[in-house]
């Protein structure tokens, strides 16, 4: 077993195909195929199922991918360690967030202290954020409730109630408060499945025996805001993410015991010592007191 063979297997598994893996590693497709074939033949094990031009991991392949994730993650950390002197003067930090509002102040302070680090921010929901971090597709996540904290370093950021919001001209805009029973009679604009906001609302509605009718299901918070602003229905968001700069929208508190969103900053335990990740967490921790 050689390092190049494991690297070829790992990249094919991540890319979902030999051609994409070859592009990522700047090699030819036959070279990638040959490395994977030799690995499978040497240990008499099938790592991929090749059917109808699709490359699918076998059970053995899934197990090996979990190992190579750790292997190449450790390799990346070793490289960061060797480059320690310049690690906070250059490099990248990849953040995936359900809403960047929760760390916008930390982000601004981080950029001021480490202007050489290029920060990229992607949007996701609770489920996709966890999957992206575990798959090494990002360094830091910002999300609400976390079902399983064991693989992660977790820093609480804030707690905020879920509120409803509508366009200014919507009939509900004049209401001081809305119950879930009342909301059941309005068309609602709801986030995609996997959104923690949606999960909490559905749980509370089920407890009260209320059925919420979704007129529109939209992926991403900004899509929901745009649809609600156009009069498409009533949306939901945590109060901390609502913002006051959009004059088209009106916030409406929900009646009853508050539905609280506990926003958190997370990273994989095994990556918490990365210089950029560690610096971002330390700054967030100091700014949150």
At residue 85, does pLDDT exceed 60? no
**pLDDT (average), residues 102-111:** 92
* pLDDT one-digit tens code per residue, 238-263: 888 887 777 899 999 999 899 988 88
Q: What is the dihedral of CA 204, 206, 209, 211, to 10 degrees?
A: 100
Domains 3-82 and 91-289 share a fold: no
φ, ψ (nearest 5 deg) of residue 187: -70, 135
Q: Is 169 helix (H, G, I), strand (E, B) or coil?
A: coil
pLDDT, mean over the chain: 88
Residue 83 confidence class, pLDDT cut points 50, 70, 90: low
Task: Report the CATH architecture of 91-289.
Answer: 3-Layer(aba) Sandwich (3.40)
- Domain boundaries along the sequence of the chain: 3-82, 91-289
Q: Kindly give, in sequence order, each residue whose CB lies less than 8 Å from that of residue 174, ignoring residues fewer than 6 positions away.
A: none
Q: What is the pLDDT of residue 59?
A: 93
Q: What is the pLDDT of residue 1?
A: 67
**pLDDT (average), residues 137-141:** 94
Question: What CATH code would you report for 3-82?
Answer: 1.10.10.10
One DSSP character per residue, 15-30 reads HTSHHHHHHHHT--HH
- What are residue 141's DSSP bridge partners? 96, 266
Residue 197 confidence class, pLDDT cut points 50, 70, 90: confident
Q: What is the pLDDT of residue 86?
A: 62
């Amino acid at each position: 077993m050689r390092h190049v063979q494991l690297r070829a297997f790992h990249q094919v598994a991540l890319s979902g195909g030999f051609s994409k893996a070859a592009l990522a590693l700047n090699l030819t497709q036959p070279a990638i195929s040959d490395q994977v074939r030799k690995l499978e033949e040497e240990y008499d094990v099938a790592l991929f199922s090749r059917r109808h031009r699709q490359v699918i991991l076998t059970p053995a392949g899934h197990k090996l991918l979990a190992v190579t994730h750790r292997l190449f993650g450790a390799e990346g950390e070793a490289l960061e360690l060797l480059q320690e002197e310049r690690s906070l003067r250059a490099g990248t930090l990849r953040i995936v967030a359900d809403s960047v509002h929760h760390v916008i102040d930390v982000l601004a302070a981080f950029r001021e202290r480490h202007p050489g680090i290029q920060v990229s921010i992607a949007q996701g929901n609770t489920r996709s954020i966890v999957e992206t971090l575990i798959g090494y597709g990002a360094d830091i996540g910002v999300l609400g409730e976390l079902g399983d904290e064991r693989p992660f370093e977790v820093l609480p950021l804030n707690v905020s109630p879920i509120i409803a919001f509508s366009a200014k001209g919507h009939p509900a805009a004049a209401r001081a408060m809305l119950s879930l029973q009342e909301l059941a009679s309005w068309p609602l604009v709801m986030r995609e499945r996997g959104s923690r906001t949606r999960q909490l609302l559905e749980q509370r509605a089920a407890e009260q025996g209320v059925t919420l009718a979704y007129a529109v299901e939209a992926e991403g918070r900004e899509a929901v805001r745009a649809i609600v602003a156009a009069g498409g229905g009533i949306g939901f968001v945590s109060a901390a993410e609502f913002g006051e700069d959009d004059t088209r929208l009106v916030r409406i508190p929900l009646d009853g015991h508050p539905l609280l969103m506990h926003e958190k900053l997370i990273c994989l335990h095994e990556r918490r010592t990365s210089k950029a990740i560690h610096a971002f967490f330390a700054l967030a921790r100091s700014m949150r007191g």
